[in-house]
Amino acid sequence: MAVSWWVWAAVMVGVAAMLAVDLYLHRDNHVIEFREALTWSGIWIAAGLLFGVLLWAWQGGDVAGTYYAGYLIEKALSVDNVFVFALIFTYFAVPPAYQHKVLFWGVIGALVFRLVFIFVGAELLETFFWTAYVFGAFLIYTGYTMAFRHSEQTPPDRNPVVRLVRRLVPTDPAYHGDRFFARVNGRRVATLLFVVLVAVEATDLIFAIDSVAAILAITTDTFIVWTANAFAILGLRSLYFCLAGLLRRFVYLHYGLALLLAFAGVKLILSETPVGKLPIPVTLGVIVVTITVSIVWSLRSTRGAGRSPAPVDERPGRVG
């Protein structure tokens, strides 16, 4: 789909405006309650769905269907981000009032990472046919590890990026309000909140590879792929505050996400065979049914379970 530069610019400005409104309304670092998070989640989901309607009116049903398939798979995979964010915030004992700020800047980084990965990945798929097999195998393997090694968690402070930052940047092992940097004993240092932000960004960098590859299995149209990613990610903060207390109940969701990744891998490989690309209605159907079944299965199996997330015993050590 040929998209003029001004359309890209208009979408970028729209996304920036929505982020600016969100930042302004949360400038006081208040604790996000469930009702507020639910309202904002509804707003972000409505924005994502409305953009699909605009695409439908502009480019037709096939393009809109492709966008919705990408949006749904990214939205589903973002739930796994929420699991990891909850682990990071619990591990570092991040005060609830500062969590939104970390997630806000985390979303900014996520949008940039995905924009780079989308253009690089799409160019590779268009230039070298064999990259479809490589990406497809990667997605199938990622699905396997998500299904059978999902419980294996690496402590956030052992993340190599976090450890590198601690070595390169003087860091104070404490929070200084909502600041990422502070002056301690006359020396400017990074705060523990900055370390948390780095952990979130490093984690999302890994998730970005999976999610972008999954959407590229649906289409290599960079405009569709990025807008689907962007509108799904914009609601990630609200989704976290909506689901943080219910994560224990999604015990089988990772199986559904694993199946979606594997399906995307198979779809990508088939696109370079005589079978060709699977129809968008089939893709949409698989995504909707998989997500619905895994969520319903989880909720029915954990009926009556508590709402609080599982406790994390570890606590961060001192920062050197």
Rounded CA-CA distance 155/75 in Å is 25
Rounded CA-CA distance 139/211 in Å is 9
The pLDDT of residue 10 is: 92
The pLDDT of residue 26 is: 77
Give the DSSP letter string of 62-91: HHHHHHHHHHHHHHHHHHHHHHHHHHHHHH
Give the DSSP letter string of 116-146: HHHHHHHHHHHH-TTHHHHHHHHHHHHHHHH
| pTM: predicted TM-score of the whole model, two decimal places | 0.80
Backbone angles phi, psi at 171, to 5 degrees: -130, 140
The pLDDT of residue 320 is: 36
* Every domain of the chain and the residues it spans: 32-301
Q: Is 169 exposed, middle or buried (0-12, 13-18, 19+ CB in 10 A)?
A: middle
Q: Average pLDDT for consecutive 10-residue bins of the chain (320 residues)?
A: 85 89 80 84 92 93 91 85 83 88 88 87 84 87 80 67 82 87 87 90 82 86 91 86 75 85 88 82 87 88 60 42
The pLDDT of residue 310 is: 44
The pLDDT of residue 319 is: 38
The pLDDT of residue 245 is: 64
Tell me the three-class secondary structure of 232-268, residue by residue: HHHCHHHHHHHHHHHHHHCCCHHHHHHHHHHHHHHHH
